[in-house]
Every structure is written in C-alpha cells, then in structure tokens.
Structure 1
C-alpha cells in the first residue's frame, strides 16, 4: 500500500471512529452536571464530529456531483445550526429571545463576507482572477438579500407587536415565504438552470465532470451517508451539553449575549469554510460560492420556519429584528456583493473588501 492509500485509509478510520465515540460520550453525559474536564472532552468530540460530518457530506457530494454536492453540504450544516438554536432556546430562558436572530445574522455575515472573501482571495492568488458564473451567483445573492430583509429587517419596523418582533400572523407569513423561496431556488439550482451553478474555467467555459472511475463507490457513499447522520446527532447533542459553558464564558468576560450566536455560527460553519477553501484551491470558485451563499440561504430559509413552529410551545418573546448597526452591515454586504458578482470575475481587492466587512462585524459584536 503506497503512502497516499495509507493516508486515505487512516482518514476513513477516524471519520468513522470519531462520530461513534462522540455518540457514546453524548449518551454518558446527557442530563448531567459536567466538570470542566468533561466539558473540554465533549468540546473535542464536538469539533471532531463536525469535521467528520463534513468529510462524509463531501464524499456523498462527490458522488452526486455539482451543484447537488454543495446543496447537500449546505443543508447538512444548516440542520446542525437549526437544531443547535432550538435546543439552546428551549433551555435558554429570557436570554434566548434573540439567539435565533443573532445566530442567523452571524451565519449570513460569515458566509457572505468571511467565506466569500477568503475563497475569492484564494482563487485570485492561484489564478490571478477568480472566475465564476454571474447568473447563478447573482440569483443566490438576490435570494439571500430578500430572505434576510423579510425575516431580519422587517420585524424592526412592523407594529403588530412591541419591540423587534413579528406578530404570530406575520411570523407565519415570513416562515412560509422563506420556505417557498428557498424551495424555488433549489429547484432552479438543481433542475431548470443547473448550468448556472457549475464551475467555470478561466476562459468562461464549463469545467468537465470528474472521471467516473475516481468517484466514490456505492458502498463507500452509503457508509458516509449513515455516518453523516450519526455525526449530526452527536454534534447537536454534545453542543447542547457544552452550551452552558459557552454562555458562562461569554458572561464572565463581559461580552454581549450576541457573541453566543456568533460563536455557534463560527463553530458550525468552520468545516464548511474549509470545504469552500479547498474548492477554491482547485479553481472551483463557483462551488465555493455555492457553498457560501447556499448556507446563508438555508440558514434563513430553514431556521425561520423551524423557529416559527417551535414558538408554539416556546415561552417568551422572539426578537428577530436587527438593530441599526447590523442593518448597515447587511446593506453594505448586499451592495458590495452585487458589485462583486456582476462582472463574474474577482481580484484580490474584492476578497479583501469582503473580509474587511466581516472583520467589522466581529469587532462590533464584541464591542458594540
């Protein structure tokens, strides 16, 4: 067995072993008061499970091809995020009233500025100019902007309830509209205009499909699908176990409660960031943008309907409306994103601009 085959065998072993170990740790720790050492162990299992989940999602994605692969990975990551939000809101009390808003907005800023910025930088460094499909990327950005405005901006200005909240009827409308709009985008991405979301060469032509002989086999794909589900369960359960430690740490250092949402989004989206960067290094910037914008879209399109349904039995207010500072950052993100997307080509400058907006978001979250 050569070195590359040995490395792949070791990778396959740890991505199977870690989710199983994390699931066992979840069973042993569920419902118990945890010592700091136990919290550290669970956090380690959590991080390993997230990475394993993305590995298995990538195997499945490689088998089904673009843009289905990007969609599977985005939905898998969003399922983690939605489950984390709901589980934290159930036990969060009054502090959890703005958790969904903070986490979803953090996901939008991380994906539309952090991941997009890094991938444009990597693509531009490798090929001088990062090339992508303006039609597909522009459609994705427009959908993200619409979903964010309907779900995160309008609650600040509606008068059905006091504060940045929707009335029950307004929340129901936002949930249905978000779900239908996300479903429409998925249909366009995967069926009607699939070619708009495929990677391009430097001269603007579609990249050829991967060699069928290099694709994962059916057995390997089935195993990865099963282990993906195990890893997702382990991530959600272990995240619920360590969430009190995260909230206590944020309170201890005197940071705003919104930082908890940022930490959750960073944790969930880190593996997807790595997947997007790897795609950019392979000169598949379109795949990177599919991952980034698809995750932003799924974060809103799936979280808002889930939260609307959960609000039936959750007590307390549900603050969804953004403050003035975050609305300015959202508008800046949409405007800059549109200017980046229109040419279908980006340089180091566009990547740096997006990263500057992301840095401003992180800094203002810590020091509002």
Structure 2
C-alpha cells in the first residue's frame, strides 16, 4: 500500500517531462500568445521539480560524487546548447550573452547555492561540515577557469576590446577542457573520498542509508526522464526568452539581465537538489553540485562558443568589466576563507548571499 501511494505521489514526475517535450515541439521557433507563455512557464516549473526528483533517484543509485556530476553535466550541456542557439539567432546584441550567462552561473552557484546550502545546514544542525580537500580543489579549479576565460580577455592586446584573438580563444578552450577533465578524474577515480559527505566526527559517509537504493531499471528510466525534463526546461526557457527580453527592455534594464534570468532558470534543478542535501546534513553533496556546476558551465561553454565562433559573424565578448571583476575576486577570497576550516556557521552563508544580492543589484542598476 505504501509503495503504491509513493508511486502515485511521484506519478506526475513521469508525466511532466513528456508534457514539456510535447509543448516544446509545438512551440519551438514560433511566436506564441501570452496565454501559451504562461502555460510554458508553469510546465517549465514542473519540469524543474521533476528533473530534481529524477536526479536524486540517479544519484542515490550511482552514489556520490557521481550523482552530483550527472546532474551538473546534464544541465550544463543543455545550457550550452541554449546559449549557442541564442547566440546564433541573436545577432550583435548576443555578442556578450555567453559571458553574461557564464558569469551569472558562477555567481549564482558560488554565492547563491553555496550560501543557501551553508545557511540551511548550519541553522538546522548548528554548523555545516564538509571536506575541505575536495571543496578546495573544486574552488581552485573554478577560480582558474574563471580568470583564464573571463578576466584575461579584458587585458589582452592582440584584439581590440575585451576579446580573445583566435589563438588565445583556442588556448582558453583547450585549457578549459583539460582542467575540467582532470577535475572529473580526480573527483571520480583517484581521490573520490575527498568529495564524499562526512559526519561531524570527520568520517566519510560511503553509503547513504536514508532510503533503499532504486533498481537499475528504475535508475535508467529516471536518467532518461531527467534528460527529457532538462531538454524541456532549457527549450521552454528559450521559448519564453523573447518575452523576457521584451520585459527587460521595457523596464529599461541592461541586456545582461537576460543572461542572469536564463542562468537562474537553468540552475533551478541544482539549487533545489543542493538545498535538499543540505537539509539532510549532506553539505558536501551540495557543494559538489554548486562548484561542479560552475566549473562545468565555464569548462564546457567556452569550448562550445569557441567552436561556434567559426559561424558567428559578430564579435565574441568574454572579458568582464571592472565591477564584475571586483565581485569575482571577492567571491574567490570569501569562498577560500569559507572552505579552509571545513565547517561553516550561518555567518558564512549570509556573507555569500550578500555577495549574490550585490551582483543582482548591480545587474539591475549598474
């Protein structure tokens, strides 16, 4: 009886991804009226929640840190497809879209998801505990990728403006792939224990016993529905993006706000999954999701836009402005100080959330 009730409770998670895909097929590339945009938004929200559920099923089956990696890579690959598609369709106004979306993803993950996870875990369990070795390695990789890809273009002189030359862009793309590949190998093979949740006594939790692990068949079904839900999330986000752009323009806001909104929509599944892990005192899983998503966003987006630049007629602006460089530097310093002790209080979570709030405020009012 309990299993049947649980099956009925989660039945919508099987229906919504399919509904999102069907709606996407009928609305892709078409101008849709306001009522349909509202429907797309509702289905998009449902697809986000369904994606989180299926990601947790897969994560429970394969264990950490593979579960976090699956969700981070799946979301980022489809996010990259969305960015490239919008850049190909958007003309000159999309020249900085990749930069704006990637930087928004870095700030949202490193300050928003990290801050919320630390705050929730520390308020619920007095302190948030995690493994500083694995988290520090992830943070160092994110900091290096962000600096090489988003800061250096502002200071290079081969090409006018905050742009890389062809050779420089190739170097940044190859370096991003190499660093991301090295990190994944470290996370999943050589030093997997650095990225597993730990107890308050510092012991690694190798088995998550909060529920019975799903069967292999269930995990494969959830993986397929996860990918379908994520395609629906990103595709529907693209469908509502003209409405978002019109709203941003009507409000007199900078076009960079579009990248912020896209990043917020796409990162919703990781945010919800990270908060659920934090509530269960699995803060390391939350940090794996946050920093892994930031790393994948840079490490996969930069090579993708470098390849797409062959077909792009306009410039590819990657370099950050001075305000954003200050926020990035402060984020890296604060995150390093948060990571070193291996435990955090609500204060650290609040500091990260204030940094996110500062970024959002400056995006709206630069």
- In which range does the TM-score fall when normalised by the shorter chain? over 0.9
1:245 equivalent in alignment to 2:243: yes
Aligned to 2:167: 169
1:40 equivalent in alignment to 2:12: no
Aligned to 1:189: 187
Among residues 314, 318, 338, which one is paired with 1:320 in the alignment?
Answer: 318
Q: Flag structure 1 segments of 5+ consecutive residues without an equivalent.
A: none
Structure-2 change in CA distance of 1:367 and 1:13 (3 Å): same
Aligned to 2:224: 226
- Asked whether the equivalents of residues 113 and 355 of structure 1 are also in contact (C-alpha less than 8 Å), the reply is yes
Deviations 1:260-293 (A, max 9, x none): 0100111111221111111011111111111100
Among residues 279, 300, 314, which one is paired with 2:277 in the alignment?
Answer: 279
| Structure 1 stretch displaced more, 289-298 or 47-56 | 47-56
Structure-2 change in CA distance of 1:156 and 1:336 (3 Å): same
Structure-2 change in CA distance of 1:132 and 1:35 (3 Å): same
Structure-1-length-normalised TM-score? 0.96
Aligned to 1:299: 297
1:351 equivalent in alignment to 2:355: no
- Asked whether the equivalents of residues 174 and 304 of structure 1 are also in contact (C-alpha less than 8 Å), the reply is yes
- Asked whether the equivalents of residues 97 and 316 of structure 1 are also in contact (C-alpha less than 8 Å), the reply is yes
Structure-2 change in CA distance of 1:124 and 1:139 (3 Å): same
In 2, Cα distance between equivalents of 1:269 and 1:57 = 13
Tell me how far 1:212 sits from its aligned partner.
10
Aligned to 2:205: 207
In 1, Cα distance between equivalents of 2:239 and 2:113 = 28
Tell me how far 1:218 sits from its aligned partner.
1.4
Aligned to 1:25: 23
- Asked whether the equivalents of residues 80 and 235 of structure 1 are also in contact (C-alpha less than 8 Å), the reply is no
Among residues 62, 65, 85, which one is paired with 1:64 in the alignment?
Answer: 62
Q: Flag structure 2 segments of 5+ consecutive residues without an equivalent.
A: none
Give the number of equivalent residue pairs: 366
Tell me how far 1:207 sits from its aligned partner.
2.0
1:152 equivalent in alignment to 2:150: yes
Structure 1's consecutive aligned runs of 4 or more residues displaced over 3 angstroms after TM superposition are: none
Tell me how far 1:239 sits from its aligned partner.
2.3
In 2, Cα distance between equivalents of 1:269 and 1:111 = 8
Deviations 1:143-200 (A, max 9, x none): 0000000000000000111111111111111000001100000000000000111111
SS of the counterpart of 2:141? helix
Structure-2-length-normalised TM-score? 0.97
